[in-house]
Structure 1
């Protein structure tokens, strides 16, 4: 039974809410700790990484429980509905630090609510990812689902990366989080409602966690793809974690370029995210077409290679006094990022089908848990790595938003958001061609 247009779009809508939170946690938490609470960069990076490592521990648990859940709304909807509330409550709380509490003394407050928010995120993200393998078994339809998802994700990137920093600058981080909370809740809840009649596997799976994990780990092509997607995510997360610092220290506009007025109005960071979002949104139909004509693997490798070229171009362009030129590069970067956003998410449900056909078990929650585990591991490592790098080169923390930095620290930042991610993406390309392609071809007969 084919999905309706409304079901495809409705399923994708949930990612708008999910991505707003993801971008906020990747983009603002580390900068909030170091630039507004005065926590040293190395300490802030280690603390943020610790929370994200804790977040990964919950993945297999939620995946296992969602596969075994029995309700009149199906296996996934209850988790998504409740998890959305937990996520936004934690997000608002982590920024609502009491007045007078700063420095290392503020860490218990921030980290406690950050942990709560990440648990809520897991409750939403793992069942949501599992639904991609449940509601359709058609490979082409899955690409269309991911195009809708990433289209809405691009809007989420814009809101999380452009609107939230602007709101935070105007009225504080807690108020900004509170303003976008109804949007997050509405997107997730409405998405659950729109797919209420979509095909799914309503019966819970009656196997133990060890057996479920063994089935997932035994799918070699899936595990290879999940690991390589984690490598790609590490590169993107490193860029995301460093971008607030780059917007402050590496882009000093002269004020006389085409987009200078926009940069002054909404901040350089918000403008760059808007440009990135525009490119990502425009690219989605193109990546669906490329996947259909070239195959998903070839289209993904092509997109990642273009991404590497864009990062070299950004390295050459930074530091810059021309915000318009940098925004143009970010439009192109968004187009290349569209392949990373869309195509792997359309590839891994095809591999879940292999295990379901072999065992007869619908354990999409288990697969979704491992997939997100690899992604979260990368997201956890990135802020810690960036904090360690910047701290080792003498990066100065502040409570005033910006402070003079040593040239060596600025150069470390410059490399960390351009050449280092490019090298990591290069490793991912080699892995896709040398490791994933032969393994996937043996079980799928295609890539």
Structure 2
């Protein structure tokens, strides 16, 4: 493990993996629920269950993937082989996800999506967990991890912009099932770009000396669960992932039914991600000046305010709706930079204290929590739709009752804002700071 500044090519190479994580984290959350309710005609509650169940599998699978990569021995490092295998499999499965054959049966359509999404979730676990575990092993410098995460979040933001902006545009250009099929192939190509870029770009990254990985998975999970700072950070991140998942699921509905323009979904993404491309260095500077925890709190407050501003989406000019989404993007950027930089600190401190390599277990639990939050988000939004009397249909768009429109607005504004503010009660007890991390790693 190196305490020196990482080469630029390693930073860029590692960051390219976020093309895959950003694309897969964005597009299903944005379009899978509308695909199920408005193209396949599946009821909102059942559609929410189909979106949730494969992600719930990752709660069990991700720690296992982390443990497997912890124990893996390879001259390429313990993580990199999994990037290639998991990423390629993910691209193939994603192309199939939106390619359900039109056999005139909603049961068959739903089963196809469920099975394909299960396959995607499994492949993604074996890509994402080793990928997120790498920073704790390629540098032991507290500040360098923040810089590495700033690069990653910049690419992540760009990936969200490209995938989240282009996916609805491709779908709308062709329309119907064919639009979804072509969109699936296009996003699969982005997944391959991220996979190959991360695999090749990190070939010269320091991997550090081998560390002991003794103990069963159960015992390591128990030990990791006892790490108070990790629990606090994880709970904060999970609640915010739940909030973001609900907002992401609601954007397409907000554009089509509240703003009255399906093309507005692309514009909403531009408003979210465009400013975020500029503020990542600002959040990095905030973290360097005031600390990661303080920066995380500040970013979370901005994110909550942006979400709350959307509550007036039915009554204000569309420009103000776009402005609120821009605040969401600014806050979201910081709310990604800081926890991603704080997680490697927790894992590295654990290794310094115990001499054991458990970064994969830490990140397995972390990504399981993130995945569960992002999966529950669309489920929560689907439940709000159901309670609001939303009408599912195989036609492109139907007239919704006023209660459904209100449900859409509440699902993308009040619900996420409350979740984000509640998450800060857990974060306030997080204790690790730069001095403690550096002292333990030098010891």
- The CA deviation at 1:320 is 5.4
Q: TM-score, normalised by structure 2?
A: 0.93
Give 3-state SS (helix, strand or coil) of 2:430's partner: helix
State whether residues 251 and 321 of structure 1, in contact with CA within 8 Å, keep that contact through their aligned partners in structure 2.
Answer: no
- 5+ residue gaps, structure 2: none
- The CA deviation at 1:180 is 2.9
- The CA deviation at 1:72 is 2.3
State whether residues 213 and 357 of structure 2, in contact with CA within 8 Å, keep that contact through their aligned partners in structure 1.
Answer: no
- The CA deviation at 1:403 is 0.9
State whether residues 30 and 44 of structure 1, in contact with CA within 8 Å, keep that contact through their aligned partners in structure 2.
Answer: yes
Give yes or no for the alignment of 1:120 onto 2:114.
no
- Written as runs of structure 1 = structure 2, the 5 A alignment for 1:27-426 is 27-171=30-174, 172-201=179-208, 203=210, 205-207=212-214, 208-252=216-260, 267-316=263-312, 318-319=313-314, 322-426=317-421
Q: Distance in 1 between matches of 2:405 and 2:147?
A: 42
Q: 1:154 to 1:71 in 2, by over 3 A?
A: same
Moved over 3 A (4+): 201-206, 320-325, 439-446
Q: TM-score, normalised by structure 1?
A: 0.92
Q: Distance in 2 between matches of 1:385 and 1:63?
A: 28
State whether residues 19 and 193 of structure 2, in contact with CA within 8 Å, keep that contact through their aligned partners in structure 1.
Answer: no
Cα shift readout 1:103-145 (whole Å, capped 9, x = no counterpart): 2331111111111111111111100000011111111111111
Q: Distance in 2 between matches of 1:135 and 1:32?
A: 40
- The CA deviation at 1:155 is 1.2
- Give the aligned partner of residue 431 of structure 1: 426
State whether residues 252 and 323 of structure 1, in contact with CA within 8 Å, keep that contact through their aligned partners in structure 2.
Answer: no
State whether residues 58 and 372 of structure 2, in contact with CA within 8 Å, keep that contact through their aligned partners in structure 1.
Answer: no
Q: Distance in 2 between matches of 1:382 and 1:296?
A: 26
- The CA deviation at 1:46 is 1.4
Q: Distance in 2 between matches of 1:229 and 1:39?
A: 31
**54-63 or 195-204, larger mean C-alpha shift:** 195-204
- The CA deviation at 1:205 is 4.3
Q: Distance in 1 between matches of 2:336 and 2:434?
A: 22
Task: Tell me how many residue pairs correspond in the alignment.
Answer: 431
State whether residues 66 and 363 of structure 2, in contact with CA within 8 Å, keep that contact through their aligned partners in structure 1.
Answer: yes
Cα shift readout 1:415-446 (whole Å, capped 9, x = no counterpart): 1110111111111122212x324x77996599
- The CA deviation at 1:329 is 2.8
Q: Distance in 2 between matches of 1:215 and 1:353?
A: 15
Cα shift readout 1:231-284 (whole Å, capped 9, x = no counterpart): 11111111111111111111136xxxxxxxxx8xxx110111122111111110
State whether residues 310 and 409 of structure 2, in contact with CA within 8 Å, keep that contact through their aligned partners in structure 1.
Answer: no
Q: Distance in 1 between matches of 2:287 and 2:45?
A: 41
Cα shift readout 1:140-172 (whole Å, capped 9, x = no counterpart): 111111111111111111122110111122231
Q: Distance in 2 between matches of 1:362 and 1:247?
A: 46
Q: Distance in 1 between matches of 2:277 and 2:22?
A: 14
Give 3-state SS (helix, strand or coil) of 1:137's partner: coil
**30-39 or 99-108, larger mean C-alpha shift:** 99-108
- The CA deviation at 1:393 is 2.1
Q: Distance in 2 between matches of 1:274 and 1:102?
A: 36
- The CA deviation at 1:5 is 1.4
Q: 1:191 to 1:320 in 2, by over 3 A?
A: farther
State whether residues 83 and 127 of structure 2, in contact with CA within 8 Å, keep that contact through their aligned partners in structure 1.
Answer: yes
State whether residues 234 and 381 of structure 1, in contact with CA within 8 Å, keep that contact through their aligned partners in structure 2.
Answer: yes
